[in-house]
Structure 1
Amino acid sequence: MKSALLYIQAFACGISAQIIASPQLTSFNSSFALSHELALKANFTDQEASTLSNIINHERSQYAGGPADQDEFYDLPAQSPDNRHLIPGSLIKLETYTNITNYTLSPNLAMSRFIYTTKDLNGTAIPASAFILWPFSPRSFANLTPHMAAPAVIWNHMTSGFFGPAAPSKHRNIWAGDSAPYALALAGYAVVAPDYAGLGVTRNFQGGFIPHQYLALPASANDAIYAYKAAKAAFSKKLSDTFVVMGQSQGGGVSWATSELLGQNSTLAKGHLGTVAVSPTTSVFNSSMTYVGPFVGVGLASVFPTFRLEDWLTPFGVNRTEVFQTVQGGLATAFGFFSGNIAKPNMTQTWYTRAYSSLVNMGTKPITRPMLVIQGTADQFVSYNVTLATITSACERYPNSKITTLISNGTGHVPTLDASRQVWLRWIEERFQGVSLQSTKCGHQEILESFLPIDQYQATWNSFPQWAGGAEYTYEVPLEL
């Protein structure tokens, strides 16, 4: 920051000043190298091992101040557990003000982190972490209580990874913060965001390991609503009594599951105004088994103790997955690890696949609050047809459900969030304003078309936010004024 001040002073006075300007690699904060033994087990060539090491170093450089297992915030207090901590929604640990020096938040946002109690898919009470993104100036709504509170939106994130280091609360830009969390907070909402159990906090009250039960959507719905309850306990006057739920991809499925959970529990549902589910995962095994097999498989034994990776994966796939677990890879690393003959041909016919589907797929339970589902037609990860089929099935079962659908024509998986931003911001605003929804049939569709021909638009990201908070990197942010 000192060099930035020197630069500003020199600019204002019209004089020259010495500027520190060091080169910065994308892997500037990690020096990992995949060992020969692990590369051999995973059947990587030397070139592939070098490439994977570069990817892992990039991922690890995106942790704010290092990985979660080196941050004592994610350790449980010495007095845990007690009877209070076994109640879902209990606040275990609070960091009222998070030092955001190592994050890449938008200017004029602040952050808190906390640990609380949630429930896994089996109903076991476990600790989990979450964060709150605070607006500079909260939106004001006439019916909001407490009157001076910030209106709350629960944000359920898209897939960030599968192990402790992948917690968005530990990621420099809180994992794709530009796609929705920053927009929400800059629009005046307090964003309450669960990491999901197993990401961040990885040890339970007895010291045992907490796996991330990937795409166990009802379990992550517990994480979402109990994060809000714990946040309210911590900031009763700063957070509104009413809330909207929102998420994308994995988080879109979690948001749908939260609506189903609240539809069956009127006590938990108090204050729920509605849900936005963008590109939602609703049918877990309707995508590539090359990815779903290992991603779900690494945590499935916590649901079905007899499950082994060999039940789903080839020997090659098992070895790749075990090495992936060892290096604690994130999403970018996963795309480098999993290709080729990973899943067994009969994986989708196994009992475990059928049983897990019956537990976690969406559209089988009623919802009692409005839900806006947004889906892009060019989505390569969550099929447009699968999302529409889930909506159709849900509406056939529960025709009185207030589900509306926005079809974003020509947009991809995450970019659908950006294309539809003004729509979901307005929808959320209207829920807090108490605007009544038009009476439409369950599943009613509207189409969002591009203003210009779709091929004239940037289809997806080709950049990422690089931390430049050190004095030697100030030249990378000349608008730091």
Structure 2
Amino acid sequence: MPSSWKSLLVCLLSGRATLALQSQNDTFNSTFRLTAQQISTANLSAATTHNVEVALQYERSNNAGSLVQNEPFYIVPDHYNLNDLPPPGTILKVEAHTNLTLYTIPNSLSLSRFLYVSESYNGTSLPASLRLHPLAPLYPVVALAHGTSGQTQACAPSGLRNLWDHFNEPFPLALQGYAVVTPDYAGLGVPNVTSPYFVFPAQANDLFHAVAAAQSEWPSLLSREFVVAGQSQGGGVAWAAAQRQYSRPVKGYLGTMAASPFTDALAAIAADSGIENNGRVSGIAQGLASVLPGFQMSDWLTTLGVARWNLIHEIHGCGTTSGQLAAAESGALPILKEGWNETWSADWFRKATMNGGKPFAGPMLVIQGTEDGNANEPTTSRSINQTCELFPESQLQYIRFENITHVPVLLAGQHTWLGWNHDRFAGVAVPEGCTQQTLSPPRGINGAASAGWSSATWFVEYNLYGI
């Protein structure tokens, strides 16, 4: 594998646009090129044009088989009326045995995919897709909320070779004997649905209805009990699910694990001075109208910002591509409007998506890296403290991992959260009250684990050669 491939991953995951990206060298590479019209409309420099093309090629090379937007599996059967769907939790289509030769899943696991009916933020039914990783009966169920893969139809983790979060979450859970029920958030996978990105209560609906759908399809294989888990965006979804469980209890719920969760998303964005600010806000803006009547992207984004997000949808780009389009170039026009965060819609968004300071159904474990520059530790700690002050009898355990960043907290704390999951199914009692602790590595920390928000020094590659 050429060294340029590693450089590509490091550059893309860090979200920088200052270096020219190098295309991967294998037969799965795309030959995508932007048109002159697309380049002109989105006001792309030659450097950004190059990086967007390579980023999209990288994303497309990670698809399992065909591109998500071209795969018949994600099309809702004709006999269902999208304006009059069955109740949430209903199965629409089942692929009981997904072809694993297209994936990079550990060969001891199996994969099933299905379409089901979920529920929007406003309570209407909408179709969504889901994947399930069973191991050995009877499978204890973990409802897993995934981190940000993107906001377009093409970004469904169920259509990616490594299922997006790979050895960070779904693989270790499945290898420990759990059935991992992990939905593609509505708008990812199934066409003609807009993703209400970072509207955590909407994705919490996806999670609960996915569990109900899976349990109805395999009642003799899946436990009625389940644990909720998630990291990053998924951590925000997991916390929102615990708040939903308080007001809309679902039988079988055993608790929630939220890793590096977004609690006050706008506060976390304000604390980030990098391009995550542009990308995160733009991602929220592109889907907010689907849950907030009267909102338009142009309320938050400049003409350039709107043009770039229209381009992302046109070319079916995901997180890597949007990171390149959101990157601020020297002397470039802004993507976000000044004062976007002081609008009525920003106020609505903050109140609607706030995690913390609200009652929730425990027990809940929250793990957080102290050096997280994405879902930053001060914001998470503030939400924890507010919740514990208002609800001192909550079953809330908060663990900070020193010198650890955003995604690596899952690896640093793997023994902790996997053990916590095991205890929930084992019926281990959790005392009332809030507990907080900070864990420090006794031999220091590898510099790679504390640099950047992802800090991945490895990736899961498709085996082209059968070795």
Q: TM-score, normalised by structure 1?
A: 0.86
1:134 corresponds to? 134
Does the CA-based 8 Å contact 1:130-1:193 persist in structure 2?
yes
Residue from 424, 430, 452 that aligns with 2:423: 430
For the 8 Å contact 2:254–2:424, the answer to whether it is kept is: yes
The aligned counterpart of 2:81 is 81
Instruction: Report sequence identity in percent.
Output: 36
Q: Secondary structure at the match of 2:258?
A: strand
Which letter maps to 2:461? Q
Pairwise mapping of residues 284-363 of structure 1 onto structure 2 (< 5 A)?
Answer: 284-286=265-267, 287=269, 288=272, 289-340=277-328, 341-363=334-356
Q: Deviations over 1:357-379 (max 9, x none)?
A: 11111124311220000000011
Q: CA deviation at 1:83?
A: 11
Deviates more, 1:74-83 or 1:123-132: 74-83
Q: Deviations over 1:122-155 (max 9, x none)?
A: 11100101000122xx4xxxxxxxxx51111011
> Within the alignment, does 1:387 sit opposite 2:399 as a pair?
no
Aligned to 1:186: 175
Judge which range, 32-41 or 315-324, deviates more. Answer: 315-324
Cα offsets for 1:399-437 (capped at 9, x unmatched): 221111010111110110010000001101111111112
Shift of 1:47: 3.1
- Higher mean alpha-carbon deviation, 412-421 vs 386-395, is at 386-395
Q: CA deviation at 1:198?
A: 0.4
1:367 aligns with 2:355: no
Distance 2:446 2:29 in 1: 37
Q: Taking structure 1 as reference, are residues 403 and 305 closer, same or farther at Cα in structure 2, changes over 3 Å only? A: same
Which residue of structure 2 aligns with residue 104 of structure 1?
Answer: 104
CA contact (8 A) 1:276 1:373 kept: yes
Aligned partners of 2:200, 2:34: CA distance in 1, in Å?
33
* Residues 458 and 373 of structure 1, relative CA distance in 2, 3 Å threshold: closer
Residue 37 of structure 1: aligned partner: 37
User: Which whole-Å CA distance do the structure 2 matches of 1:406 and 1:43 have between them?
Assistant: 45
- The amino acid across from 1:95 in the alignment is E
Question: Is this contact kept in 1: 2:408–2:449, CA < 8 A?
Answer: no
Separation of aligned partners in 2, 1:184 and 1:280 = 19
Question: 1:85·1:92 contact (CA, 8 Å) conserved in 2?
Answer: no
1:405 equivalenced with 2:398 (yes/no): yes
Letter in 2 for 1:462: T
Equivalent residue of 1:113, what SS? strand
Q: How many residue pairs get matched?
A: 429
In 2, the alpha carbon distance for the partners of 1:51 and 1:411 equals: 29
What is residue 57 of structure 2 aligned with on the other side? 57
**Residue number in structure 1 paired with 2:209:** 226
Q: What does 1:140-159 align with in structure 2 at a 5 Å threshold? A: 148-159=137-148
What's 2:16 paired with? none
Q: CA deviation at 1:165?
A: 0.8
Corresponding residue to 1:467 among 423, 445, 462: 462
Check the 8 A contact 1:246/1:275 in 2, yes or no.
yes
Instruction: Give the RMSD, CA atoms, in angstroms.
Output: 1.8
Query: Alpha-carbon deviation of 1:291?
Result: 2.1
Contact kept, 8 Å, 1:311 with 1:347, in 2: the verdict is yes
SS of residue paired to 2:266: coil
250, 254, 257: which is aligned to 1:273? 254
Contact 1:27 1:58 in 2 (8 A): no
What TM-score do the two structures reach when normalised by structure 2? 0.88
Distance in 1 of aligned mates of 2:207 and 2:297: 28
Supply the AA of the counterpart residue of 1:282.
T
Partner of 1:452 in structure 2? 443
Contact 2:405 / 2:449 at 8 angstroms: preserved in 1?
no
Q: CA deviation at 1:39?
A: 1.2
CA distance in 2, matches of 1:75, 1:96: 16
- Deviations along 1:23-72, one digit per CA (max 9) or x if unpaired, are 97267242110111111122222232122101101101101012222111
Q: Which amino acid aligns with 1:432?
A: F
